[in-house]
Structure 1
Amino acid sequence: MASEKSNVVELPGPMTYRDTCEKHGEYQGKITEIMGRQFKSGCAKCSEERRAAEAAAEIEAKAREDRERLQRKLGSAMIPTRFADKTFENYAANTPRQQKALNACRDYADRFPEHYDAGRCLMLLGRPGTGKTHLGAAIANDIIHRSSALAVYRTVGGVLQYIKGSYDRDAEYTEVEAFKSLISPHLLILDEVGATKPTEFELATLFAIINGRYEEKLPTVVISNLPPKELPEAIGDRCVDRLREGGGIVVGFDWESARGVQA
């Protein structure tokens, strides 16, 4: 009976050689033959150090990319320098009412993915100098640092100037682009609402922004020195209705101003 022919080819094990590394001294390496050519492995410790250096460089490049992305986000957020370092931790909550406001704003930031999905808005309303802008900036900073979402801070005055700037003959952006930049961010923080008697242009502009975000189901934070009952006069009933829809949250700031108070 003829024996079956095996398809298995026995290959010789890798050849070895000895050499000396200037850094690590004598070592034993391997010689691999590929397509008739022989390749030496080199010093194993050097190879290990090279892989570690490449891994560290990759980690540093990723960290640098993350830092640059964060800086771009912070730049796009347009948070004023005075409020750029405002956080929940450095907000002075010395009374139960201040602590309640702090807790509400911290909770909004902590649960932002849920509020974002619902398009749920937040209104910080009450007396000037009570820390509303501080907490609004803290919300933006927290969201920017902890997620991929973009939170943008703008004052009503800045918004109006920005929109009007698109009408200039030499403007580098159109009115449509201006409104899009205000409607598209994951979160828009709109400060100084009702700071002056509203004009028809201001009312129309605020409605276009708030309604545009409402239609896209995007949340908005409104900051105003007005009490809740006076907000409709400043931005219109339709805007207030859209801010309240879907469980819009109102946080009151009814204590005395802390500005000028000596520590």
Structure 2
Amino acid sequence: MRSENVVHLTRMAGVRASSMAVCEEHGEYRATTHQVLNKVFQSPCPQCKAEQAAAQQAVEVKRQRNELAWKLGDSLIPKRFKGKTFESYAVTSEGQAKAKTRCQQYADDFERHLDAGRCLILVGNPGTGKTHLGVSIAQQVMAQSTHTAVYRTLGGILQSIRATFDGSSGQTEGHIIESLTRPSLLVLDEVGASKEAPSDFELSRLFSIINGRYEKMLPTIVISNLGAKELPSAMGERSADRLREGGVIVLPFNWESHRGKEVL
């Protein structure tokens, strides 16, 4: 391209020069001026622009979380568990200390686990703090990022799906499944809670959720009072196989229950 054409196009674009400008809030910054026809425009303060973008992002994150909570028919984290954080988890044994550290690491490295679709399984004795730590991960993920995290029990999910069958709930089964395969993180509690063998209905719906998240490479935290070897029978081998992809992390909670004490 000839040099005179370059000069002509530059003038058409309206780029004049860069100079120092003053923002009332942030002070001096280097601005670029542009001329379009007879009007001169100055680039805004980069700090103001970044703050405005961050504010708009925060509004959008809140909108998405509110929309997801509405679809779930409740908040992302139930009211009872709002206070369950890593800070409120009291450690009284070596096992608890190790479990808390591993769960904290999972939350701290969530971006890496999200990229890998890596799931986390918390299994073992009831009343040992599994739910507390699972919810703590979800709380931190939402507090420190733009991601969404949802806590639900398997029994509650199945009950919601059954309520759609007569059309009185205002939701559809697909609607409920979609709301559980959409969040960045799903904490799925009380898997295998029933003493009876799971029905085909339970296994198929659970697989729809686990597989839907597997296809999107979204991690799931599964919480169960069963042992690691018992869990596949309770949730179905197909679902268990999906969880193993990406290098699943399994944490056993094999100390005595402290339910009713401060640690929970």
TM-score by length of 1: 0.71
Q: What's 2:38 paired with?
A: none
Shift, 1:75, TM fit: 4.9
Question: How far, CA to CA, are the matches of 1:238 and 1:74 in structure 2?
Answer: 27
Shifted more, 124-133 versus 86-95: the winner is: 86-95
* 1:250 and 2:250 correspond: yes
User: Residue 251 of structure 1: SS of its match in structure 2?
Assistant: strand
Moved over 4 A (4+): 65-68, 73-77
When the two chains are superposed, the root-mean-square deviation of aligned CA atoms in Å is 2.7
Aligned length: 206
Cα pair 1:125 1:250 within 8 Å, conserved:
yes
Compared CA separation, residues 92 and 74, structure 1 to 2 (3 A): farther
Partner Cα separation in structure 1 for residue 216 and residue 60 of structure 2 = 30
Q: 1:193 aligns with which of 177, 181, 191?
A: 191
> Partners in 2 of 1:262 and 1:163 — Cα distance?
35
Do 2:86 and 2:133's aligned partners in 1 also have CA atoms closer than 8 Å? Answer: yes
Query: What's the counterpart of residue 24 of structure 1?
Result: none
Q: Deviations over 1:107-141 (max 9, x none)?
A: 11111111111110000000000000000110111
* Offset from partner CA, 1:22-77 (integer Å, 9 cap, x none): xxxxxxxxxxxxxxxxxxxxxxxxxxxxxxxxx9xx99xx59x6599298389565
| 1:166-205 mapped onto 2 (5 Å cutoff) | 166-196=164-194, 197=196, 198-205=198-205
Q: Amino acid of the residue matched to residue 157 of structure 1?
A: G
Aligned position for 1:69? 62
Taking a change above 3 Å as real, the CA distance of residues 157 and 244 of structure 1, as seen in their structure-2 partners, is same
Find the residue that maps to 2:171 and give its secondary structure.
Answer: coil
Q: TM-score, normalised by structure 2?
A: 0.71
Identity, % of aligned positions: 53
Instruction: Quote the Cα distance in structure 1 between the aligned partners of 2:91 and 2:122.
Output: 15
Unaligned runs of 5+ in 1: 1-54
Contact in 1 for aligned 2:123/2:226 (Cα 8 Å)? yes
> Could you tell me how far 1:261 is from its partner in structure 2?
4.5
Deviations 1:162-207 (A, max 9, x none): 2122222234222221111111111111000000022221111111
Paired position in structure 2 for 1:43: none
- From the superposition, tell whether residues 74 and 253 of structure 1 become closer, same or farther in structure 2 (CA, over 3 Å): farther
